[in-house]
Amino acid sequence: MPAVLEELHDFITDLEGEGHQLAGKIRDFYDRVKDEVGDLLDGGRSELEEFLTGFVGKLRPELEKLKADIVAEVTAEVQKVTGEVQNVAHEVQVVVNGHLSPEAVDKAVRDAVDRAAKTGGAVSTH
């Protein structure tokens, strides 16, 4: 056998040995990982799953309370703005019936906008 082919054969043999050694190291690492997180790999209830279930169970009531608070706050703001709009509508109705001048209506609208701005509501005059 020519020297080059013999050298190639030896090189392949070395690679096979190193490959087996590397495969063994990978198997050992896999076994360690499997031991540490075996319950996840085996389909059992893991500590992480238990933690997340408990966490969500504790978080859900807090989120529900927060949602209820936000809904109540938004509802109160909507009621304030609705009241202001109703006041403006009443003032406009009075003008339509001939009881107020257009200047009085403008003043009523400006007053409603000012009140809404002070209470955090928003009323547009346009």
pLDDT in tens, 28-54: 877 777 777 765 655 556 677 777 788
CA-nearest of 88, 80, 93 to 106 is 88
Are the CB atoms for 122 and 116 separated by under 8 Å?
yes
Across 91-102, average pLDDT: 72
40 vs 35: CA distance, rounded Å:
10
Q: Confirm whether pTM is higher than 0.85.
A: no
Q: Which helix (H) or strand (E) holds 18?
A: helix 3-36
CA R_g for the chain: 39
In percent, how much of the chain has pLDDT > 90? 0
- 104, 88 in Cβ contact below 8 A? no
